[in-house]
Amino acid sequence: MKEIKQISDDIEKYQKELLEDEFGLENFKEELYLYEDRILQKVEEEVDDNGKKVFSNDTMRKRELKKRLSDDGGYQKISKEYKERKKDIALTKV
């Protein structure tokens, strides 16, 4: 009977740890979203010497956002950590 109780306790502990990891993953996801939003805002507001928007259409803005994010070390670090944690959580569920 003790073994069954121990297994039940272990499962409960595992489920709590997994839930905490998933909440932590959401924090990374939110941080990435805010990072992207800040950079996109800069891209959208950028104007040339004549006051005309540099990235005047959506396709150009998306391309510039992607370029700036790929060049940004801080964003890349957070993105890498997010992907690694997401993978770890998925593997834990198997």
- Close Cβ partners of 70 (under 8 Å, ≥ 6 residues apart): 76
- What does the pLDDT read at residue 52? 95
Question: Is it the case that residue 9 has pLDDT exceeding 80?
Answer: yes
- What does the pLDDT read at residue 13? 86
Assess contact for 65 and 40: CB atoms under 8 A. Answer: yes
Q: What is the domain count for the chain? A: 1
Summarised one tens digit per residue, pLDDT across range 45-70 is 999 999 999 999 999 999 999 999 99
Assess contact for 62 and 36: CB atoms under 8 A. Answer: no
Share of the chain above pLDDT 90, in %: 65
Question: Is it the case that residue 3 has pLDDT exceeding 80?
Answer: yes
CA 79/CA 29 separation, integer angstroms: 8
Structure pTM?
Answer: 0.77
CA 6/CA 40 separation, integer angstroms: 51
Domain extent, residue 32, equals 2-93
